[in-house]
Amino acid sequence: MADAVRRWARQLADWAIPEHILAAAPESPWVVPRTVFARRADRQIAEPGTPTHQAVLDALPGTVLDVGAGAGAASLPCARAITHVTAVDTSAGLLAEFRRRAEALSLSHTEIEGRWPDVAVGPADVVVCAHVLYNAPDLAPFVAALTAHARRKVVVELAQAHPLTSLNPLWRHFHGIDRPSGPTAGDAIAALRELGVEPEVVRWRKAPKPEYERFDELVDVTRRRLCLPAERADEVAEVLRGLGVDESTPPDLGSSGREVVTLSWRVPRPG
């Protein structure tokens, strides 16, 4: 295995929660904040135009396969140029959110519950995959499947830094441990190049937007991600304030962050 691909897998493995902390957790720390995904999709649908959307639109009209679709923030803003969209996600709840939004846009759609690249799904003109790569330690088959399913283009969006790094000061405060700092988008680019993919790279910055309706929602999700009991919620809130979190614009710590990178590559047509 090539060095950059091996380094990517090793750095992701370092994010495992220490067993003694995980065993004492009162709830699962693997939180999927559906409201965050839904709000993000609605905001993008109302105001499309990110570099990721532009990269998708540049290869349309046609069909789209959205891998790790969530509520549809990466694909549904491009609905005007999509003839059919297929959403793949491990969360049935998020696929239901996707379905509601696709129907509201009168867009032909299919939802498939499962984990990429294990799902059975046909090809599409464009394959888009937003904020999933940091959950893909085995990068070679993951990327190969993205490319194999695209007739024209693959578009990948990811945060510049691993999204969980924003929680590192809280892990240090509550558990006295230092968490990893990598991998980064730069590591992903290096790994892609080792795999024979030379992506176009666009770096951009999202404007701050409230990702939760209320600050206490952020506190609750953050508490669970830190493996803490409910009675420590007030302490979590106080630490978040001390870190400068704006209660009027609560971000989803552990999500995509504001520094974003869009990677895209064309798929050569046979002949």
Residue 10: how many CB atoms within 10 A of its CB? 13
Instruction: Give residue limits of the domains in the chain.
Output: 3-164+181-213+257-266
d(CA 156, CA 210): 24
Task: Give the per-residue pLDDT at 31.
Answer: 83
57-92: per-residue pLDDT in tens? 999 999 999 999 999 999 999 999 999 999 999 999
Burial 225-257 (b: 16+ CB within 10 A, else e): bbbbeeeebeebbebbeeeebeeeebbbbbbbb
Stronger pLDDT, 176 or 36, i.e. the higher one:
176
SS (H, E, C) 22-91: HHHCCCCCCCCCHHHHHHHHHHHHHCCCCHHHHHHHCCCCEEEEEECCCCCCCCHHHHHHEEEEEEEECC
CA distance 56 to 153: 8
Does residue 271 carry a pLDDT above 60?
A: no
Quote the CA–CA distance of 52 and 78 in Å, as a whole number.
Answer: 10
Q: Which fold has domain 3-164+181-213+257-266?
A: Rossmann fold (3.40.50)
Mean pLDDT (the chain, rounded)? 95
Residue pLDDT, tens place only, 180-224:
999 999 999 999 999 999 999 999 998 888 888 899 999 999 999
Residue 270's pLDDT band, with cuts at 50, 70 and 90, is: low
pLDDT band at 33 (very low <50, low <70, confident <90, very high): confident
What is the per-residue pLDDT across 214-268, written as a single tens digit (0 to 9) for each?
999 999 999 999 999 999 999 999 999 999 999 988 988 877 678 999 999 999 8
Alpha carbon distance 138, 9 (integer Å) = 6
Q: Cβ(124)–Cβ(136) under 8 Å?
A: no
Contact 162, 69 (CB under 8 A): no
Between residues 12 and 206, the one the model is more confident about: 12
